[in-house]
Amino acid sequence: MSSTNPVRIHKALQEIFSERFDIPPETATPEALLRDIGLDSMMVLDVIMDIEDRLGVKLEDMSLPRNATLGDVIKLVQRNQGIDV
């Protein structure tokens, strides 16, 4: 399974949220707003650095919409890997 597979990215994000911030995996759905699950902008940067390490990817463009969802983070990873989303 490719590191850009959205299911793999989502699972890795759920693991990070659970391990680092005690956010239950069932709360971390692609539709969930990051702020609604308790993540501020600094936490999101930490998550992005962690996802780079876990998936072995390098994220150059880390731009997210103002009210980003978990799905937006998944798309960010895919976009940085050259996947059209």
pLDDT single digits (tens) 12-62: 999 999 999 999 999 999 999 999 999 998 999 999 899 999 988 889 888
Q: Residue 82 — pLDDT band, cuts 50, 70, 90?
A: confident
51 contacts 57 by C-beta, under 8 angstroms:
yes
Q: Is residue 44 part of a domain?
A: yes
Provide the pLDDT for residue 64. 92
Q: Is residue 31 part of a domain?
A: yes
Q: Is 69 helix (H, G, I), strand (E, B) or coil?
A: strand
Q: What is the pTM of this model?
A: 0.87
Residue 43, H or E segment = helix 41-55
Provide the pLDDT for residue 67. 93
Provide the pLDDT for residue 62. 86
Q: What CATH number does residue 30 fall under?
A: 1.10.1200.10
